[in-house]
Amino acid sequence: MPRNGLFIEYEYCTGCHSCEVACKQEHNFSDGMVGIRVDEVVTVGPDKVHIDFIPFTTRFCDLCAVKTEGGEQPACVKHCQAMCMAYGPISELTKAMEAKPRSIILAPR
Amino acid sequence: MAKSDEKVILTTLWSAGCGSHGGCGAEIYVKDGKVVRVEGDRNHPHNYGRLCPKGLAISQYMYHPDRVTHPLKRVGERGEGKWERITWDEAFDTIEAKLKDIRNKHGAESVIFCQGTGRDIGGPITFLMYAYGSPNWVQVGLAGHACYTPRLGAMFATQGSYSVVDASQFLEKRYDDPEWVVPKYIILWAQNPIPGCHDGFFGHWIIDCMRRGSKLIVIDPRSTWFSCRADVHLQLRPGTDGAIALGMLNVIINEGLYDKEFVEKWTYGFDELKERVQEYPPDKVSEITWVPAELIIQAARLYATNKPSSIQWGEPVDAMPAGSVVAQAINHLWAITGNIDNPGGNVIATRSHGVTTYPFSTAELTELYGEELVKNLNEKRIGANDYPMIKNFRGWVQPDVLIEQMETGKPYPVKAAWIQTSNIIGGQAADPKRHYEAMKKLDFIVVVDLFQNPTSMALADIFLPATTICEKESFRSWWQPLCVSQKAVDEVDECKSDWDINLELAKRLTTNPIKYNNARELFEERLKTGNTSFDKLASKGGWEYPPAGPFRPYNRHERGLLRGDGQPGFDTPTGKVEFYSKRYEEWGLDPLPYYEEPAESPVSTPDVYREYPLILTTGRRSPVFFHAEHRMIPWLRELDPDPEFEIHPDTARDLNVSNGEWVYIESKRGRVKFKAKVTATAHPKVITAPHGWWLPETDGRAPNFFSTWDHNINVLTSMGNQSKSGFGGTNYRASLCRITKIKD
């Protein structure tokens, strides 16, 4: 079985929080518990201020086992408003990463 | 994917629940008669499966323990928080008797019908109001009526129709449609589209366009996710957007960068505009706005020489000192470059199939309710006689005039209020204390809502519990496709849909018979004008694009599809896009755009500036809340727990304010308590604060009202700053303040 993960093109992550609430809903997590968190990163360049958002999977991420076994996308991937997340075998995600700057692969499991 | 014991209903979200302006297709998962999940509908062309946090949290909203699920009547004094459960029969009987009595004694116009932000409520509330015979449809406290209507009015005057960014939303195949062209540049003017679906525009369509090649020009006082990805960021002083627009017109005209063929053939008043913009050379505009002249020139050149390009604008345009004038100037920018109803430009937006839910024009009101009724009622509409543009465009009360009338009783007293899905005290109103004082003196107030909030606690005599979008049927034609909302589950306890509540009361209060037995019959009659039906739409997944004709893009001015007489051209007095506006002239306004300085600013009130040396801009949006809603929803509140204002690190250091510290924001008008977010995204001279903050977890009774006076930023804003047109002119976006430490 190949290991699956999440590919995130964070260049386009807008910090909209949909992945976090989708995750909370899918797993009915209680307060403070969630499978993915988005952090804001502000950096000050010579000519402008930059804002990036970085999603990070927590130890509670199960890559939406119930959803993906049924052939669906994880809840975060499905609802990502910027459409900057993908789910699949890590070996394939690394190929996508070759072509995309400012991206990460997360392998929570 | 539905589990074996679940069923899925496809619907369209707008109205309570997500709360937003909406349009998203959603899958409602139902088990044992309850909504268990709300997900995006991947086949819906509005959102393709995506959904915002507010949509994803609908089930928590629906089944929240604090939701009001039975009609209530107040049994103590206003504000005491003593309520008694009553039946719907008692509620309707009481309201009927009271409102009939008030109409007999004081006339129907003495009752105001109050709504909040633009959602499907605009349909049922106008229906009830006109049945009762009142002309007074109002967003109470919305200073200068600063929410889209000033922009709509400016577009109506200038080009006779409304335009939006062409993100392919009027084409069924969306980005794959060969007719669509990617905008080369998108100007994001006074809007951060990420948090929502402002004016029915799904914010992330901008990201879809960026992925397909659109570049950005951002006009915003703070740095945003978009500004750091933009070719040009005009980081202007709040309130000076009108000067930027005139400066860009100056460059485009004087450098000859405009679309000469379009201007020659389709516009009126170019010479007058050319003369006017000579007053706004880039150097002078730079001085007004704090933006370097070379950036203004660069933005103007990039926009004008890359066709098609498109302008997305936000509510701050309405809130400018002369909102309808700033909107006019921005409209001129897309017109003078020929970016009007062209693929990838500012496409003309029409209601789908010509169907109306929420009337967006005088023409739609007239279609629904008849010319005579609309005309007669206008005679007494509050503010209509003071402002010809208010009188001749849509059917709203002017809110700054209303507050004075509530206080003085002149020219006639306001006796009662029907407040439906509007948190006036805790969100919408500038100077909420003034509104509280005025409204608590009214004889009778009904609040229709889903939760108790500062307004219902402070004012309601009767509370009627409304439903979320999952518990009712509705339909949406703002703008396209035409959509229906299906009822996924029965109403929670005794809640009723706004349409059902208003139809029942309209039947009891009307002076003319109402032919509809139920809300569905009304929907069917309106959908029939678009040659379709509720069931047909529902069976197709809840949506349908209009057939070829006036409701489909592009270049409708060339094809004779914009004017009533079928001739080519625009639906204006001259048949052209009017740089020199005949309608503004008729309404006693300057026919050409000009710049007006904010009423309170470093320039206009230097004495105040010495004491209050920071510019305050309010209304910063949160991705997890819609206006004053959702603070009680755990999944959402966890992500944005406190009222936070943004302040630059240098400014914070000078004031000895730390990140996360609670401080007072003070103005001449009062003070509120906010938490500092120290961030380099802020302009050093500007702080930004969100609106609509109240704490549902605190005491709702007087005088606390869920801590609204402590955290409602509108305590610092005021009424009475309206512009000459009555549309626009507020200090929501530009006023003066200072920060003080909290000393215990």
Residue B40: which of B28, B30, B31 has the closest Cα? B28
**Whether residues B674 and B722 fall in one domain:** yes
Distance in Å, alpha carbon of B434 to nearest chain A alpha carbon: 35
Nearest chain B residue to A26 by CA: give it.
Answer: B37
Please check whether residues B318 and B184 belong to one and the same domain: yes
Torsion of CA B712, B716, B722, B723, to 10 degrees: -110
The string of DSSP codes covering B63-92 is T-TT---S-EEE-SSTTS--EEE--HHHHH
What is the domain-level CATH number for residue B192? Answer: 3.40.228.10
Please tell me whether residues B341 and B194 are part of one structural domain.
yes
- Give the C-alpha separation, B134 to B110, whole Å: 8
- C-beta separation of B331 from B317 below 8 A: no
Q: What is the pLDDT of residue B375?
A: 87
Nearest residue in B to A20, CA atom: B53
Whether B15 is in a domain gets the answer no
CA distance B263 to B267: 5
Report CA dihedral (A84, A86, A92, A94) to the nearest 10 degrees: 40
- Type of residue found at B726: G
Q: Of A24, A42, A67, which has the smallest distance from its Cβ to B1's Cβ? A: A67
B66 falls within a domain: no
Based on the domain organization, do B408 and B503 belong to the same domain?
A: yes
Ranges of chain A whose pLDDT falls below 50: none
Q: Are residues B174 and B224 in the same domain?
A: yes
| Inter-chain residue contact B1 with A71, CB threshold 8 Å | yes
Q: Which of B43, B47, B56 to mutate to test the interface with A (most CBs of A within 10 A)?
A: B56
Q: Are residues B341 and B416 in the same domain?
A: no
Is the separation of the CB atoms in B224 and B623 below 8 Å?
no
Contact A48 B228 (CB under 8 A): yes
- Smallest CA-to-CA distance from B170 within B461, B548, B522 is with B548
Whole-number pLDDT of residue B118: 82
Mutation pick from B13, B34, B39 vs chain A, by most beta carbons of A within 10 Å, is B39
Q: Is there a single domain that holds both residue B175 and residue B302?
A: yes
Instruction: Name the residue facing A78 among B40, B204, B634 (closest C-beta).
Output: B40
Q: Say if the Cβ atoms of B39 and A78 lie within 8 Å.
A: yes
Q: What pLDDT does residue B1 have?
A: 66
Residues of B with a Cβ under 8 Å from any A Cβ are 1, 37-40, 42, 48-53, 56-57, 59, 194-195, 203-204, 207-208, 210-211, 223-225, 227-228, 233, 623-624, 634-636, 638-639, 679-681
Residue B479 lies in a domain: no
Size of chain B, expressed as the number of residues it contains? 744
CB pairs A-B closer than 8 Å: 100
CATH of the domain at B671: 2.40.40.20
pLDDT at B354: 94
> How far apart, in whole angstroms, are the C-alpha atoms of residue B13 and residue B33?
19
Asked if residue B627 and residue B731 are part of one domain, the reply reads: yes
Here the contacts of B41-46 (C-beta below 8 Å, separation 24 or greater) are: B41/B10, B41/B541, B41/B542, B42/A78, B43/B541, B44/B10, B44/B12, B44/B541, B44/B542, B44/B543, B45/B169, B45/B172, B45/B174, B45/B481, B45/B543, B46/B169, B46/B202, B46/B481, B46/B543
The whole-angstrom separation of Cα B94 and Cα B77 is: 18
Using a CB-CB cut-off of 8 Å, the residues of chain B touching A71 are 1
Q: Side-chain half-sphere of A98: how many Cα atoms within 13 Å?
A: 7
Chain A residue closest in CA terms to B634: A31
Contact A81 B50 (CB under 8 A): yes
CA distance B206 to B188: 9
Same domain, B498 and B447: yes
| Amino acid letter, residue B643 | P
Same domain, B574 and B669: no
How many domains would you assign to chain B?
3
CA distance B328 to chain A (A): 31
* Burial tier of B702 (Cβ tally within 10 Å: 0-12, 13-18, 19+): middle
Residues in B closer than 8 angstroms to A72, CB to CB, are 1
d(CA B388, CA B549): 33
| Alpha-helix residue ranges (DSSP H) falling in B182-322 | 205-211, 241-254, 260-266, 270-277, 282-289, 293-305, 316-319
Min Cα distance B441 → chain A (Å) is 42
In a domain, B144, yes or no: no
The pairing of strands B662-667 and B670-678 is antiparallel
CB contact under 8 A, A32 and B635: no
Residues of B in contact with A80 (CB under 8 A): 50
Q: Which of B39, B53, B59 sits opposite A17 (nearest CB)?
A: B53
Domain of residue B127, CATH code: 3.40.50.740
Inter-chain residue contact B1 with A81, CB threshold 8 Å: no
Instruction: Tell me: do B696 and B654 sit in the same domain.
Output: yes
B243 three-state secondary structure: helix
Long-range residue pairs from A45-49, CB within 8 A, at least 24 positions apart, any chain: A48/B223, A48/B227, A48/B228, A48/B233, A49/B223, A49/B227, A49/B228, A49/B680, A49/B681
pLDDT along chain B (744 residues), means of 10: 87 92 95 98 97 98 98 97 98 98 98 92 95 96 96 98 98 98 98 92 98 98 97 98 98 98 98 98 98 98 98 97 97 98 98 92 91 89 96 96 98 98 96 98 98 98 98 95 97 98 98 94 96 96 95 98 97 98 98 97 98 97 96 98 98 98 98 98 98 98 98 98 95 97 88
Q: Give the nearest partner residue to B53 out of A21, A51, A78, using CB atoms.
A: A21
Condensed to tens digits (0 to 9), the pLDDT of residues B712-740 reads 999 999 999 999 999 999 999 999 999 99
Task: Provide the CATH topology of domain A4-106.
Answer: Alpha-Beta Plaits (3.30.70)
- What ipTM does the predicted assembly reach? 0.98
Q: Are residues B109 and B167 in the same domain?
A: no
Tell me which chain B residues have a C-beta less than 8 angstroms from the C-beta of A70: 1
| Interchain contact, B223 vs A51, CB within 8 Å | yes
Domain of residue B380 covers 72-138+360-472+491-513
